[in-house]
Structure 1
Amino acid sequence: MPAPAPLHPLHLTLANGLRVTLRHAPRLKRCAAVLRVAAGSHDVPVAWPGLAHFLEHLLFLGTRRFPTNEGLMAYVQRHGGLVNASTRERTTEFFFELPVATFSGGLERLADMLTHPRLALEDQLREREVLHAEFIAWSQDTQAQQQVALLQGLAADHPLRGFHAGNRDSLPVEREAFQQALRDFHMHFYQSGQMTLSLAGPQSLQALENLAQQFSEHLTSGPLHPQSAPMALMQGQARSYQHIADNHLHHVITGDAPREALDFLCTWLNASAPGGLLAELKARQLASALQASVLYHFAGQAVLDIDFTLSTQDEAVTQVEALLHDWLSFFAHSDWTSLREEFARLAARQQQIQGALALARHDCQDLSEQDVVALKTLLVSLRLPPSEQRWQLPPNNPFLRSPARDERAGLIRGQTSAHRGLRTFAQDRSRGRREMSALTFSPALADDSDEAALYLQWRAAPSGLETTVQSLRENARQAGVELSFESLGNDSLVRMIGLQEPMPAVLDALVQSLNQPQEVQFAKPATIAIRALLKALPACCGTIDPQPAARGTARWQGLGVGFSAAHEAAIKTAAARLPGQSAKLNQPLPSLSGQRVWHEVKTDSNEAALLLFCPTPSPALADEAAWRLLGHLLQAPFYQRLRVELQIGYAVFSGIRQINGQTGLLFGVQSPSVSLEGITDHLQHFLKQLPALIECSDDLGNQTLAQQFSAQTLPTAQAAEWLWHAHLAGHPSDYLAHLQSRIQTCTPQALQTAAEQLNDAAGGWRCVANGPRVSVDWQAGD
């Protein structure tokens, strides 16, 4: 199969200096915008560390035209989109994704908040406490502190060695000098010449250009201010150093090479194929993993980190370093022609599958001859000795190439489409062997798209399932398929979402690997408390199957969404060889009915973190519709009350979550200052205010929420996830249409009933927290 044609973006510079990148992709169902300001944490005055990050936060606090409850964050969340921002070393990004019909409203709000921020002192005082809470979490986060330690090998005066997160001490908002610096930073950098806007969507390039032009008219006009060049990355002629921490060896290389060239190098360094560096390290039992990544890139300066997970630290470091140098020497003197072709194929495939937001954030160019020369120069500058090992360049990714199909699906050799209704006895017998009643294919989504999704759930999963998924994950991702594994208590779930063409080959590779499982343990990285609780939540909500599988006997079921007839047939053929018995798995939903159950989960952080999952009182669509509308209505007020007004934590969220087919409202809070008891008190107090919130709402949001369930406008991944849980709950394939209708007609009285059920724990409350239960009102969970 030839490499898919890449999307060629249109680059413009508007009259006021705003640089614009436009990507038209008809396959998209949503639009995305990324606004990049050429100013980051390294551009602030040295007296005020964290000022750039602080300003990013302040911009989301609403404007005179769009107060907080009508600002960008509330608007995007209300319409089921995605929104966030990020302050990097030399850039600050604001990005969101929305349905086409609401996209212009998002751009309007983004322009207004960038141009007219609310900088009232009381707002700054509150937001400073949020940054201070984030700073405390950052200072306790293992990975963050490892990153700080890793950069200690750089020159002491380089800004990468400095503190830029911001906290209560570095942000003296009460001082006029700080206020002046804040205003000056905003005026100097937050204007048209300092900005780049990237838009991606299904609209025509002309329509996208019109949106960009309208956006630019609301910005403050100004010129591009060149950012100051940083100090040298390392002193003297040094270009690399080692950093050893725990069981990790970091080999850090600094130099001057284009980002595309470094991405090219990282791709082949990270390859796990036989004959490569990682395969050799594993064979010698020196290291179990390798991850090369670009930590920093600006103004001709680059920092490349090659992270080895060591199997032993006795003599491994010296041997690993020697093998790395040998491989780099081999690579530097190799012919890259085939690798460049494969790299172009990989880049084109990613653009073929990326969603609107990923496309809008995509700022890499094709690998040029100049990039290749620059990379060769960088490798030569390392002064490596000639290679002595017999290395091999990575082979082509097999999932990027479709096997030839000589016959059409559903026909045996010698038949034509005119014979489609005729079958032989042998064909019928073969078909009978492959029939799997537990593997169903939903017609809810049209099969004329390139994308599809496959879910496979095991009970008593075969040995090595997680290891096998991990080993295939990178090749699958490169081919356009997101392959993932999730543990669900007694069950295990494998997802494949993305391009349907490679999926049969990925499934076939999964089948083959499961027949020869390798017991490889993957390191479990430390994570912040609230994320650890989210990972533990499905197991806490697990149930016991009344008909458990016999010891050593795996059973599985599956669902396919969006597959064409040909790919459906190929998936069935591959799935017929999956280990275990194909069988409909019972999914008994736990009935808590008024009970409040508390699950204690240990986490690496001492900060109080809590999840409250409140299932609907029944699986009926009427209940689900009312609770979804209730979740839609309370999302912004919940965030406003606990995060903005009370400031009890920096991780504050709410929304509908589906777990093993069970729908419920999920609330999450992590706080550095409030106890678990205090968090539960705040949650219960908020929930008691819901009847009044419903009563005073002029618009409950029925139509806004209902529009998010249209199969024609839903991204495949999101639609597939909803359909999978509907399948587990026993709903028919037209679930989305019925749910949409129920939401549209949901009455205020039905919403009041849902609020009462929620407060009464009619479907039960399940709390997952990193501490013991706060009172006897909660019963201890398993």
Structure 2
Amino acid sequence: MLSPRYWTFLFIVLAAIAYSMVKHLNQPELIVSPSDPFSYRYLELDNGMKALLLSTPDSDKAAAAVSVSVGSGDDPQDREGLAHFLEHMLFLGTEPYPEAGEYQAYISRNGGVHNAFTAHSQTTYFFEVNNTALAGALDRFAPFFISPTFDEQYVEREKNAVHAEYKSKYKDDFRRIFSAEKQAMNPQHPYASFSTGNLDTLADRDGSHIRDELLTFYQQHYSSDRMTLVLAGNYPLEQLEQWAKEHFSAVPQQDNSGDQSSNQQPLFKPGQLPLDLNVEPVKEIRRLQFTFPVPASKHLYQYKPIQVITSLIGHEGEGSLLAYLKQKGWAEGLSAGRSLATDNETTIVVQVSLTRNGLLHTDQITQALMHYIKLIKQAPLPDYLITEQATMSELSFRFQEQSRLSDYVVRLSSNLLIYPSHDVIYGDYKWLPISQPTLKPFLDALNVNNMLRTLIAPNVASEILDPWYGTPIRLRPSQFPNLSLPEEGLEALHLPRANPFIPDNLEASVKQASSQPEALINDPQRSLWYYAEQDFEQPKAHVRVLLQQPEIQQSARARVLARLYTRTVNEALNTYSYPAHVAGLSYNLSVTGEGVLLHIGGYQDKMPALLQRVLQEMQQIELSEDAFKRYKNSLQRGLENQLKGKPYQRTMEELKHWLFEPSFSAPDLLAELQDVSREDVLTFAQQFRNQVAHELYLHGKLSRQQANTLAQLVQDVFPANHPRLAPSQVLQAPAGVHQQALQLDHQDSAFTLYIQGDENDDQTRAAYSLLGQILSAPYYQYMRTEQQLGYIVFATPYPQKTVPGIAFIVQSPQATPQQIRAQSDIFFRQFDSQLAAMPAAEFDNFKQGLINLLLEKPKNMAEKASRYWRDLGNQRFSFDTLEAIAAEVEKLTLNDIQQLYQHAIMQQQQPWLIFTQGGELPDTALLQTVDRSQQARFQLDTLTSDNQASDTQGNEDQSH
């Protein structure tokens, strides 16, 4: 039976939904959250294109997305990657704008971003730009779908870019495992094909020219009636509708588009399952993965059968499958969710992260999974499980928080391909009670005879290589159904009980909002900063508790012990805290460069209880020898895997490690980890409170009294008894050009050039930010599109804490670091004349674009809290970093930027640090010869309000 509070709560939520349906009188068919400030209009153009318009008041940004119901699953046979290749080509010239890079340059100089992706059954293109530039962006964007040129020279060049993308992921375990799994599927099903493409699949052949095939594919599939459009901007709906019709009515509706029939081949052939697949990864990954093909579910979106099932299998509370596997010492984590979803089928995937011991018990883990599924099948699910899921989904809709506008239009354009128009916004949240007959076919499909079981681990038995990524694999019929294993301990498994963390009180506790954070406590050993939210009317809060410890800041060994300590606490709390996470209240306990950071965020109703429980667990940990070994092995594996990251990522990690003091690299931590014992961790936990300082920040609809009460909870458990710590510092790089070469086991080379500013005042930060933005698009255009040096290419402002800088980054499958450096120098010389001749109007566009970006309002409470927390960490107690830098950008002249370019780049008067993979640069000093201990440090440019406090922002201990 449901308790009265559930019925009352459901009534309130459903009443709010009813209100939302009539909120926008001009579009009553669209169900909109009452907390949504936008206005909407749905229409269908004469050519059959579906369109959704969003009027976004007070927004400085506008955005658009177009989704096409075609993807890699539509690739012609023997032309793997053609849909992906086509996505690339649409960026390289249209009839109104034939110059490749014009679209990208316009977006960049108007403060925007753009991208696209190709999935199995859809391709989506999107951008975000300054609101004032929306019309010009649409003028360049719409011709993608009307008159692309497919210029022959770029067809040849872009094949290399696709190949570079393929090679850049050649040692990416996600791509390798994804490809290996396809070898177990029905080869006639399009999902089993190679979707990225490379020089072989896209090569010209006798009687088959790739450009001709591109044109045919485009004309066949890019039809207006298979497209959806979303436009968002701070304009009246009437204006947006006019632009939608003006720009997109000319998108052709192809005569042959209706001839396309969806694939009817099953993902696995009849009788093909069950199968066992072994996959050997590059990194040390240990995972047991179960894939079940189940019936199509897209048409049942309002009942969400897949989410009902996977939320139960993936539950982590008391009696859960994960709790049982952890108790056995076999697993570290578990997730369950939907993978493929087409009109014909769905796949449910369960992933279990294994311990080393778990590798020896894969059959027992399989049996435990099937036992838990049996519990779900035994009888109709308790009403409270269905009600809780629906309640939290409705609550999320009622208090819907805005995300980045470009992300939102992408989601809506995808939804338009799936949901009826009235549910395009609400469909993700709509959750009606599901009947047992509706659920039964999905549960019936979860059986051992309908399962692909994949074991991913180092040195697993293998027989063949995956043809696309060279991954060692073995594929055999599964023997599991013939095994009979004892069911020892399985009686501990049970379905989740009623969730005590479902919020009851949704009223805000504060009536008077704050203009900016204020210090309620400001002692030498502890501070409490408080902000009463004024912009977001939500019953939520964010609490950050930084427990500073000098030993953690200064010692690599203490960092290691702290990470093992927090892992112990997190594991002990998992079954308790997981229901809170499900109910919209989550915590994160992590190690920073200054101590241990506890962040709790979500509905504030049950927040004090969660905070108190976490603090109590931190005070009195229990750690068995077996658990310690698992945590230690897990930490070692994570650090070793970090060293196997992508080359460009590794160069950036090494750059950050060099710049920050104190700083400890992955090898530093691995060296300390070797002789750490269980007793060391217990001693660290017992002594943790001996030297501790507090930095607290509370943000939300909490009252001052509640803020002080939460701060007292912390003080009671961990009394502050040590002066607050100064933050980590950024080193001033040595004058001249210095290099550090990495030796990574990767076929790609990498080149990262970092140019550091000489001051960290607002004016210098503004100048470097603007120069970095100006350089971004042309560097990409020259290095990637024209020179074809690699798929990963970017130039960007690269500030570290308050220190400005610019980074130029390239990862290449064929060019050496020396060649990348030479081409970068050519670009710098060429761009010197371009910058000298830049029109004033173009420069003003760049300025306004950056100003808009800096002054963009936070989209949700979490983002706003993070901004203030960052200012606290940089001791900016005026809380106006972005506003102050924007004001300095406004003052900059083109001459200022030209002089900075000459000084920092052409004359190399600022420090250059170059990190490479794939070889050293000739005639360049080695960074290893520089004594870091003798380098000066940047001091924080502290600006204060009436309140004073010390640093609160730690950085991840791997790099800072």
**What is the TM-score normalised by the length of structure 2?**
0.70
1:749 correspondence with 2:898: no
Shift of 1:168: 1.0
1:607-756, aligned counterparts within 5 Å? Answer: 607-698=748-839, 699-700=842-843, 701-710=846-855, 712=857, 724-731=869-876, 732-756=878-902
Supply the distance in 2 between the matched residues of 1:405 and 1:328 (Cα, whole angstroms).
39
Out of 40, 47, 50, the position equivalent to 1:19 is 50
Instruction: Give CA deviations for 1:640-671 in whole Å, capped at 9, x if unaligned.
Output: 11111111111111212332333321222111
Tell me the SS of whatever aligns to 1:61: coil
1:276 correspondence with 2:312: no
Residue equivalent to 1:415: none
Residue equivalent to 2:186: 155
Supply the distance in 1 between the matched residues of 2:852 and 2:361 (Cα, whole angstroms).
57
Shift of 1:106: 3.6
Instruction: Give CA deviations for 1:460-487 in whole Å, capped at 9, x if unaligned.
Output: 1645336757977977876667877887
Deviates more, 1:128-137 or 1:454-463: 454-463
Aligned residues: 758
Residue equivalent to 1:380: 444
Closer, same or farther in 2 for the Cα pair 1:576/1:313, shift >3 Å? closer
1:391 correspondence with 2:437: no
Tell me the SS of whatever aligns to 1:46: coil
Residue equivalent to 1:540: 658
- Matched to 1:511, the amino acid is L
Out of 918, 921, 926, the position equivalent to 1:774 is 921
Tell me the SS of whatever aligns to 2:491: coil
Supply the distance in 2 between the matched residues of 1:44 and 1:176 (Cα, whole angstroms).
15
Supply the distance in 2 between the matched residues of 1:505 and 1:598 (Cα, whole angstroms).
52
Deviates more, 1:510-519 or 1:274-283: 510-519
1:137 correspondence with 2:168: yes
Contact in 1 for aligned 2:660/2:729 (Cα 8 Å): no
Closer, same or farther in 2 for the Cα pair 1:141/1:586, shift >3 Å? closer
Tell me the SS of whatever aligns to 2:730: coil
Instruction: Give CA deviations for 1:152-190 in whole Å, capped at 9, x if unaligned.
Output: 332232222222321111112586543332112111221
Closer, same or farther in 2 for the Cα pair 1:143/1:39, shift >3 Å? same
Out of 495, 502, 514, the position equivalent to 2:618 is 514
Supply the distance in 1 between the matched residues of 2:655 and 2:225 (Cα, whole angstroms).
47
Residue equivalent to 1:337: 383
Instruction: Give CA deviations for 1:553-586 in whole Å, capped at 9, x if unaligned.
Output: 4556455667765575566455546857572424
Shift of 1:324: 0.5
Closer, same or farther in 2 for the Cα pair 1:99/1:534, shift >3 Å? same
1:111-130, aligned counterparts within 5 Å? Answer: 111-130=142-161
Deviates more, 1:16-25 or 1:656-665: 16-25
1:443-454, aligned counterparts within 5 Å? Answer: 447-448=535-536, 450=538
Closer, same or farther in 2 for the Cα pair 1:437/1:309, shift >3 Å? closer
Supply the distance in 2 between the matched residues of 1:239 and 1:72 (Cα, whole angstroms).
48
Supply the distance in 2 between the matched residues of 1:715 and 1:105 (Cα, whole angstroms).
28
Residue equivalent to 1:38: 69
Tell me the SS of whatever aligns to 2:186: coil
Residue equivalent to 1:418: none
Closer, same or farther in 2 for the Cα pair 1:599/1:337, shift >3 Å? farther
Q: List alignment gaps of at least 5 residues for structure 1.
A: 411-430
**What is the TM-score normalised by the length of structure 1?**
0.84
Supply the distance in 1 between the matched residues of 2:225 and 2:66 (Cα, whole angstroms).
12
Closer, same or farther in 2 for the Cα pair 1:317/1:204, shift >3 Å? farther
1:181 correspondence with 2:213: yes
Residue equivalent to 2:393: 347
Residue equivalent to 1:255: 294
1:319 correspondence with 2:364: yes
Instruction: Give CA deviations for 1:585-610 in whole Å, capped at 9, x if unaligned.
Output: 24433122515454555655331123
Contact in 1 for aligned 2:68/2:222 (Cα 8 Å): yes
1:30-429, aligned counterparts within 5 Å? Answer: 30-66=61-97, 71-173=102-204, 177-199=209-231, 212-222=244-254, 225=258, 226-237=260-271, 240-245=274-279, 247-259=286-298, 260-311=304-355, 312=357, 315-332=360-377, 333-348=379-394, 350-351=396-397, 352-355=400-403, 356-360=405-409, 361=411, 363=415, 364-365=427-428, 366-368=430-432, 373-382=437-446, 389-395=491-497, 401=503
Supply the distance in 1 between the matched residues of 2:750 and 2:650 (Cα, whole angstroms).
10
- Matched to 2:336, the amino acid is A
- Matched to 1:778, the amino acid is L
Supply the distance in 2 between the matched residues of 1:300 and 1:77 (Cα, whole angstroms).
41
Supply the distance in 2 between the matched residues of 1:400 and 1:639 (Cα, whole angstroms).
49
Supply the distance in 2 between the matched residues of 1:559 and 1:709 (Cα, whole angstroms).
23
Shift of 1:268: 2.5
Shift of 1:314: 5.6
Instruction: Give CA deviations for 1:320-356 in whole Å, capped at 9, x if unaligned.
Output: 1111111011112341532223323443455513513
- Matched to 1:653, the amino acid is F
- Matched to 1:375, the amino acid is L
Supply the distance in 1 between the matched residues of 2:60 and 2:716 (Cα, whole angstroms).
35
Supply the distance in 2 between the matched residues of 1:110 and 1:357 (Cα, whole angstroms).
14
Supply the distance in 2 between the matched residues of 1:216 and 1:289 (Cα, whole angstroms).
47
Closer, same or farther in 2 for the Cα pair 1:586/1:748, shift >3 Å? same
Supply the distance in 1 between the matched residues of 2:608 and 2:361 (Cα, whole angstroms).
40
Contact in 2 for aligned 1:36/1:197 (Cα 8 Å): yes
1:480-559, aligned counterparts within 5 Å? Answer: 510-516=614-620, 520=631, 521=634, 524=638, 527-535=645-653, 537-544=655-662, 553-555=691-693, 557=695
Contact in 1 for aligned 2:67/2:125 (Cα 8 Å): yes
Q: List alignment gaps of at least 5 residues for structure 2.
A: 21-30, 33-40, 281-285, 299-303, 416-426, 449-480, 482-486, 513-519, 553-558, 664-683, 933-960
- Matched to 2:901, the amino acid is A
Supply the distance in 2 between the matched residues of 1:761 and 1:487 (Cα, whole angstroms).
38
Tell me the SS of whatever aligns to 1:272: coil
Closer, same or farther in 2 for the Cα pair 1:335/1:736, shift >3 Å? same
Contact in 1 for aligned 2:294/2:346 (Cα 8 Å): yes
- Matched to 1:335, the amino acid is L
Q: Percent identity?
A: 22
Instruction: Give CA deviations for 1:519-577 in whole Å, capped at 9, x if unaligned.
Output: 643663664333344455543321139xxx99974556455667765575566455546
